[in-house]
Amino acid sequence: MPVTKSDFPDDFVWGTATAAYQIEGATREDGRGVSIWDRFTERPGAIADGSNGEPADEHYHRWAEDIDLMAGLGVGAYRFSISWPRIQANGTGPANPEGIAFYRRLAEALLEKGITPYATLYHWDLPQALEDRGGWLDRETADRFAEYARLVVSELGDVVKHWITLNEPWCSSFLSYAGGDHAPGLQVGTTASHAAHHLLLGHARAVPLIRAACPDGTVGITLNLYSVRAASDDPADADAARRIDGLQNRFFLDPLFAGGYPADVLADLGETAWFEEHAAGDAAELAVPVDFLGVNYYSRHTTRAGAPRTGGSNPGSEFVEMIDTGAPKTEMGWEIHPDGLVDVLQMAAAAKPGLPLLVTENGAAYPDRVEDDGSVHDPERQAYLESHIAACADALAAGVPLRGYFIWSMMDNFEWAFGYTRRFGIVHVDYSTQQRTVKDSGAWVRSFLAG
Ligand code: FCB
């Protein structure tokens, strides 16, 4: 039996998602400052096609058309992110009225169409001026983030009621400061864990300020959780799985919900002493209550203990390899495992029993083509979405308090280090004309949501 909307509660939230740097373009307009992604994309070889956030989807100017498209698909919610350097060009000082005005127009237009805004405050576009002062390796950045969050929510809290502090802090710490694959493109090894701590501290300091500025709203954080399995019964492979589950899941879930960082992961990192000295006193603050946890899910990891290596985004566990199990993959090379979504939702539900969960991102990249008749046939993406929505229904049936699901992405966009070479949208974007075309998967979403 195919999954249907009636498998979900009536008040289940159905949305699509995007992020500022990936869609907005207009990187030099209306007082926007330089972000770490503007700078990182200038580095030769950093981005697969040498591109950057210009023009992206020109959403900064085409937002009204994009909201009409969403309304046409029948989605009830839209998760977008706010560009920090549009609000504070250099990461400090008063809010830029033009930046605020853009997001106000957007939120008001969404509300007019009956679409509920969900705003992410940090989807990776740190003002470069703060990076120049140490970025997330500097504890001070946590306070800068909290102040930025306070400014935004006190300006927009009347029209945006749902706030996500951080998107995927694993990516903005380990992938960005150890792997160097994302901005700012540093490779500081296990010291990247300090960036993770300062991100979580920024979240923790922002939450009470967001609550004060928007008392009738909700606030949460989004993590990219992975279902991690060992490639074999070999204890070395099991230990590899423990390490990756530790770095990617528990290193974030535990301080938020279990009162502190996992000791085994700090030992793997060789960072126990630093955390004792600099983070132990923050434990109570990090556990600040939230109203929901956002979970982003794309794939599953199967780990084995490989040969010693250096570098990469799993510092301290460099020898761990992810193996190809032979399962079908999306164009990202990510294996397709809908059951892994059930796993991570159960993991999240176990981390904080009763806490409402949202799937804040899920989707797939495939090489799409616009046919002569203007259609885009993407049956694999539709199948991916359908199987993962069915997994959400399974998780609900198993008692997981899942309250919503957001498709990544509303439309094709700048896919970070992959530039424009990967398409995740349910709406196709022709970057030379900015023509939007609803893909077959988008039409399927429309009929699914129509019930
Ligand atoms: C997630 C990011 C999102 C998008 C998807 C494919 O890690 O949050 O911006 O790039 O991956």
Percentage of residues of the chain with pLDDT beyond 70: 100
Residue 42 is predicted with a pLDDT of 98
Determine contact, residues 90/141, Cβ cutoff 8 Å: no
Residue 95 is predicted with a pLDDT of 98
Residue 370 is predicted with a pLDDT of 95
Distance CA 451, CA 438 (A): 19
Interval 244-252 mean pLDDT: 98
- Sign of torsion, CA 322 328 331 335? negative
pLDDT band for position 78 (cuts 50, 70, 90): very high
Residue 356, preceding peptide bond in cis (omega within 30° of 0): no
Interval 386-394 mean pLDDT: 98
Residue nearest to atom 9 of ligand 1 (CA): 19
What single string gives the DSSP state of each residue in 324-372?
Answer: P-S--B-TTS-B--HHHHHHHHHHHHHHSTT--EEEEE--------B-T
Residue 233 is predicted with a pLDDT of 97
* Statement: residue 24 has pLDDT above 90: yes
Residue nearest to atom 4 of ligand 1 (CA): 415
Look at residues 221, 193, 194, 196 and name the one whose alpha carbon lies nearest to residue 206. Answer: 221
Query: Which residues sit with their C-beta closer than 6 Å to ligand 1?
Result: 19, 22, 167-168, 171, 224, 296, 361, 408, 415-416, 424
Span from the CA of 297 to the centroid of ligand 1 (angstroms): 9
Distance CA 171, CA 361 (A): 14
Phi-psi region of 211 (alpha: psi -120 to 50; beta: other; left: phi over 0): alpha
pLDDT band for position 228 (cuts 50, 70, 90): very high
* Statement: residue 255 has pLDDT above 90: yes
> Within a 10 A sphere around the Cβ of 378, how many other Cβ atoms?
24
Annotated catalytic residues are: 168, 361
* Statement: residue 341 has pLDDT above 90: yes
Residue 1 is predicted with a pLDDT of 79
End-to-end CA distance of the chain: 15
Average pLDDT of the chain to the nearest whole number: 98
Q: By mean pLDDT, which of 1-5, 251-255, 419-423 is the weakest?
A: 1-5
Q: Among 82, 124, 226, 408, which residue has the most ligand 1 atoms within 8 Å of its CB, making it the best to mutate?
A: 408
Distance CA 167, CA 119 (A): 10
* Statement: residue 217 has pLDDT above 90: yes
pTM of the model: 0.98
